[in-house]
Each structure stands twice: as structure tokens, then as C-alpha cells.
Structure 1
Amino acid sequence: MKTNTKLKIEGSWKEIKGKLKQKYAELTEDDLMYEEGQTDELLGRLQRKLGRSIDEIKEEINRL
């Protein structure tokens, strides 16, 4: 599952970022900052901010 999430993030991050911002107004640009190869760091920030598990966040990203 990690590989699918990573590919989805790298392939269409701008679109995913916009959808996450619409759904979670509390997310800031800093929360959603992503650089190639930094998937785990991004997921950790989202986990802390949203209070959800990494697996839940990955599943949601894959559904977007």
C-alpha cells in the first residue's frame, strides 16, 4: 500500500493537496508541503494534524 500512496502523491500532488484543503480547512500550506522522497514526513504531519492513523491517511489519499 505504501508504494501506491507514494506513486499517487508524486503523480498528482497538486490535485490531492487541493482536495485535502477543501475537506480539512485546518490544514496549512506548511502541513501540505511535499517534496519528492519526503512521503513519510508528509504523512507524519497529516497524522499529527488530523489525529488519524497513517493507514487511514493513505487510504484517503488513494481515494482522492
Structure 2
Amino acid sequence: MNWDQVKGNWTQVKGKAQQQWGKLTNDDLDVIEGSREEFVGKVQERYGIAKEEAEKQVDDFCRKCN
């Protein structure tokens, strides 16, 4: 799934995102609203990881979403 598809299906995808990143709150996911940059930033912030690692995790997640 590419990011445009993720964004278009955000309501369904955000449940999967919260399963993978349990530290993300419902409020975080509502604010993200399918924005890749917001998503990467929240993963980076909540988990204290480098931006490159957060981008890698989000890209891997995106590829796994069907």
C-alpha cells in the first residue's frame, strides 16, 4: 500500500498503527489524520528514536498495510 492509500484509509489504518505503536494515543492519531510527516514525528517523539529510524518503521508499516 502506498502512502496515498494509507491516507485515504486512515480510519481503518489507525487501529493497526496503534497496535504496532502502543504509545501513540487516539488523540495523536486523530491529529496525524494520515499525514506521513506528522506520523513520523509522533513515532519519533513517543519512542525517542532518530528521524531516520522512525521513517523506516513507518515505511515498513505502510508496505505491510493491506
What TM-score do you get using the length of structure 2 for normalisation? 0.61
Q: Do structure 1's residue 55 and structure 2's residue 29 form an aligned pair?
A: no
Cα separation, partners in 2 of 1:49 and 1:14, compared to 1, 3 Å: same
Indicate how the Cα distance of structure 1 residues 55 and 24 shifts in structure 2: closer, same or farther if over 3 A, else same: closer
Give the one of 32, 35, 57 matched to 2:33: 35
Task: For structure 2, list consecutive stretches of 5 or more residues without a partner in the other structure.
Answer: none
Cα distance between partner residues in 2 of 1:10 and 1:28:
18
TM-score if structure 1 supplies the norm length? 0.63
The answer on 1:24 being equivalent to 2:18 is no
**Identity level (%):** 27
Unaligned 5+ residue runs, structure 1?
A: none
SS in 2 for 1:32: helix
Question: Aligned pair count?
Answer: 59
Distance across 2 between alignment mates of 1:27 and 1:55: 17
1:11: Cα distance to partner? 1.9
Which of 41, 46, 51 does residue 44 from structure 1 map onto? 41
Which runs of 4 or more aligned residues in structure 1 lie more than 6 Å from their structure 2 counterparts after TM superposition?
Answer: none
